[in-house]
Every structure is written in structure tokens, then in C-alpha cells.
Structure 1
Amino acid sequence: MGQSAGSSGTARYFAELLRTFRKSRGLTQAQLGELVHVSDSYVSAVETCERIPSPEFIAAADEALEAGGLLAIATEHLAHDRYPAFFKDFAKLEADALSVSSYSTHMLNGLLQTEAYAQAVIGSRFPPLEDEEVERLVEARLARQTLFFRKPVALFSFVIEESVLRRRFGTRDVMHELLDHILRCAALRNVVLQVASSDHGEHAGADGALTLVETPGHKHLAYLEAQERSLLISDPDEVARYSQRYAMIRTQALGIEESAALIKQLAGEL
């Protein structure tokens, strides 16, 4: 079977390398799958570039095939291939950012989502996605959360509209788990999390969600996203305007302790 026409050069190179190592060891796809604890269909999907391999699969395959790190070295390069095309450039920036500031108006930032919530959100898309695509996107979204524990430490600021926390995706248990998870994230020393109360009338966030990023070179960028389209803004004057807007949004939001109390209240109402 040939490789997917839409796959990246990195994915095609990894697939060819994996197939070469597997065959040189005299293993079938099913036998390799048994060694690394995945199905033969998973191995097949990786070798045809229909699926981006997880970091765990890459590490296990490298060891099982005695590849000496030649497979493992692709982990970082393949990481961004897991994301939708419109998000890939921002994912690279986010991974290295000194700081990320996010304002969420209708959907919780992926950095704060649980697996069950992410599955419900991505699974609700229309037209519907294939189950394997949902799984791939959920896996990629959760992988971003390692940024909280990255060294050097990155700083995160989140402002979340109360309506985002009230909109139910999945069951009550899914939402309860999500709210508990948000509180755990908020307790991290490099995270500041605030809720924009629905009781507040006019506010600076009326134009919608936005994300601000500071790069290792201290360059400031703004990122906007809607309907599977994205816009990365580097013009200093525009970024300054978004930064001023975000500062006002934070000022108008509840304080840190008040925000935590509201999240606990919402969890208790489920």
C-alpha cells in the first residue's frame, strides 16, 4: 500500500525508515505490534502515513528494532505533524514560548482540557470525523500539556469566560473532572487563571478570543483562530493593541481566588 499523498516529508521518511528496520529484523507488522503493544493496523497506518506515531510508539519501536536512536530522533520533528494544518505554525511557537496568554470565549484552551472533554469537543465537530482522526487529534492536544512542566519554565495566563465553563461537553462526570483539572492547573506556580464572570456587563473581550505569545527572542506575537482558520500577527502596533486589550480583560475578570471559588461552585452545581 502506498503512502498518503497529504503526508509530510518527515512522516514519509519515518515510515520508510520504520519499514526498513522492521523488514531487516524479519518482522511482520503484527509481530512488531506485539512487541510495542499496538495493533498491526496501527503499524500499518504509520507505515502508510495515515497516522502520525505517538512519542511512546516511536520510543518503543526504536528499542524493539534496535534502531540506535535513528527512529527516536524523529519524535520532535513529527510532533507538529499531529496538528491540523492551520495550527501547526502556532504549535511550534507555543512549544518554545517564554509566555502564553490566552483568552477563551467559547471553547476551553486545549492546554487545560482533559482527555474526556477533548474527545467530546472534537467528536462533536461537523461534518463528523473518523474515530481514528478524533483519537489522533485528542492525543496531539493532550501532548501539548507537557509545556506546563517544561524547562526552562514557561509562564501561562488564562482568562476564561464563565460561559465556557458552563457549556457542557460530554456527561456531568466529564465536566466535573474538567473543572477539578482546571483547578489543579491553576495551582501550578507558573499558571495564573482567571474567570470572566457573566455578571460583568460590557467588557474589553467583546471582539472574541485571542492568544499572545512571547518567543525566546522576546518577540511578541498575537494569534487568532476561528472556524479552522488562523491568523498569526507580528506587526508591533497590532500586537501592542491586542496586548492592551488582554490587559484590560484581565483587569475586568475575577481575581485568582474569586475565580477558583467560582469554579468550585460550578463543580458543585453539576
Structure 2
Amino acid sequence: MAKSANKEAASGTTRLVAHLVRAFRKREGLTQEELGEMLGYSAAAISALETCAQPPSDEMLIRLEAVIGDGLGVFEAARELVRLDRYPPQFQDFAELEKTALAVSSYQPLVIDGIFQTLEYATALISGSFPPHSDLRVVELVGGRIARQSLFDRDPVALIELVVEEAVLTRRVGTEEVMRAQLLCLLSYARRRNVTVQVLPPNRGDRTDHVGLYGPLKLVETPAHERLVYLEVQDEGLLISDPAKVSMYSQRYAKIRAQALSPDESLGLIQELAGERQ
């Protein structure tokens, strides 16, 4: 059932789409039930859309464009804006860069990197956010995170690197079954030709130059061969383009990667933790 909280938290894009659907529907002299039949949805679904109780799905926007869009392309244009709404505000700029990136390198000391997460792991992680998200927002955020995995199969292919702390692989998020499935998923990605996964063991703290203690970071190379850095902590995101700072963070990442296990050693450790290696 639609919740009033969903209506109050609706984004500007959702409100605009709701207004356009209502205006276009009335212009065509259609009831909510009639429009729903034309789109393959119930009248309740159309009502939820027009009152902002439920944001439009990508499929619904495609059908709206075909049925009442009148060739204007407004619902097609809304698809990208609605997609961005599924991400936290601080992440939206980076999400756009990541989608077209030539290369993405990530160091994660706390959780599995978002593009490697299973649906269940992402759901458990996002459901545990504080302050808590509404059920609808959890679904939106999880959907946005899973959608980012299209990067793995994109043409042209993207080169993807992940250095992850070993503690992340043993830190329980969700049930034991969720964690094992997540490790198996990580193994599957690690075996791809365009993906490199390395594990950073805990004993690297024995050395005084363990630069991973500064926290997580992401490096991205754009189609224009521009190199950028994205940092996120406590729900605050920072996108860095200054060449000197990007160089410093790139050197820091290179040091972290050099201290990690090799890709083959990392694969073996993940297999062992997942119970796939005797």
C-alpha cells in the first residue's frame, strides 16, 4: 500500500513525471484505469504514480513514451533523471562518470565495493543505514546499486580493479548465507578478464607505511583520459580533479595495491573463506 511518507519524500523528478502523466492523460481524455490498461498496469499503479506514492519504473517510462508521449521525448528524457534519483545525492556525479569510465580502481577497507555487491548483500547493508531509510527508498537505492553492474559487460569493455581488506570478507553483513553468496559472486567477477581483485591482509599493519589507513578511495579514467578521484565518508562525497591531488591519491592507491596479495593468491583466499577450497 502506498505510504504518505513516500509522497513527502518524492524527488523533483518524480513530481515532474507525475504532473506530466496526469496532464497528458487528461489531454487524451483517459481515466487512470484506461491508461493503465493501455500500459499494462492497474489503475492503482497509475494513481500511485500520479500522487508520487511510487516513482516510475524504467519500463513504465518506456511505455508512457510510446503510448502518450506524442513524440516529444519527455518520458524518454526522464528515464536518465529517474535513474540518478536512485543514488544518494553525494554519489550522483560519480555515478555518471563511472557509467562511461575506461577504468575504475577501488580500495575498500569497510564493505564490498558497490558494483561487486549481490542483491542480498546490498539490501542488508542499505537496510541497516542510520537514520533508517523507508522501505521504498531501500528498494530504490538497492536497484540503483545493482544497475551499476552493467559496467562489467559494457562495450567498450571497462577495466575494473578492486583492492579489498581481508576483514571485509569476514565481516558479517546479513546472514551467513548472504555472506557466502557474496564471496562466491566476488570470485565470479574476479575470474573475468577485465577484472582484477586483490585482498589486503591484516598483517600489513606491521609496517609503518600502511597507507590504507586513510580510508576508501576510487580512481576513474574518463573517455577523454581525464583521471579523477572520488572519496566518500559518512555520507559525504568529494570528487577531485586537481592533477596534483589526483597524482597523490593515485600513488597512494598504487602503494596499497603493491602491499596486497597477488590476484591468484587473493582468489585462493576468497575460495577458502567461501568454503570452496579444501
- Tell whether the structures are fold-level matches, with TM greater than 0.5: yes
Which has more radius of gyration? Answer: 2
> Could you list the per-position Cα deviations for residues 54-111 of structure 1 after superposition, in whole angstroms to 9, with x for gaps in the alignment?
3233224444x35366323432233212211111111111112111110001021110
Q: Say if 2:253 is the partner of 1:250.
A: no
> Could you list the per-position Cα deviations for residues 152-203 of structure 1 after superposition, in whole angstroms to 9, with x for gaps in the alignment?
2211111111111111111111111111111111122211111111233332
CA contact (8 A) 2:101 2:220 kept: yes
| Structure 2 match to 1:26 | 30
- Residue 226 of structure 2 aligns with an amino acid whose one-letter code is K
Q: Say if 2:15 is the partner of 1:15.
A: no
Q: Distance in 1 between matches of 2:111 and 2:43?
A: 33
The equivalences for 1:45-194 within 5 A come to: 45-49=48-52, 51-63=54-66, 65=67, 67=69, 70=73, 71-194=75-198
Q: Which runs of 5+ in 1 are unaligned?
A: none
Sequence identity percentage: 47
Task: Report the Cα offset of residue 50 of structure 1.
Answer: 5.3
The equivalences for 1:220-239 within 5 A come to: 220-239=227-246
What RMSD over aligned residues (CA atoms) do the two structures have, in Å?
A: 2.6
3-state SS of paired residue (1:199): helix
Q: Distance in 1 between matches of 2:217 and 2:65?
A: 39
Q: Distance in 1 between matches of 2:61 and 2:171?
A: 37
3-state SS of paired residue (2:111): coil
> Could you list the per-position Cα deviations for residues 197-225 of structure 1 after superposition, in whole angstroms to 9, with x for gaps in the alignment?
12333322111100011111111111110
Task: Report the Cα offset of residue 49 of structure 1.
Answer: 4.2
**Distance 1:136-1:20 versus aligned 2 partners, 3 A rule:** same
Between stretches 204-213 and 148-157, larger displacement belongs to 148-157
3-state SS of paired residue (1:128): coil
**Distance 1:205-1:220 versus aligned 2 partners, 3 A rule:** same
Q: Which runs of 5+ in 2 are unaligned?
A: none
Q: Number of aligned residue pairs: give it.
A: 265
Q: Distance in 2 between matches of 1:30 and 1:75?
A: 23
Alignment TM-score, normalising by the size of structure 1: 0.88
Q: Distance in 1 between matches of 2:43 and 2:186?
A: 33
- Residue 56 of structure 1 aligns with an amino acid whose one-letter code is E
**Distance 1:199-1:51 versus aligned 2 partners, 3 A rule:** farther
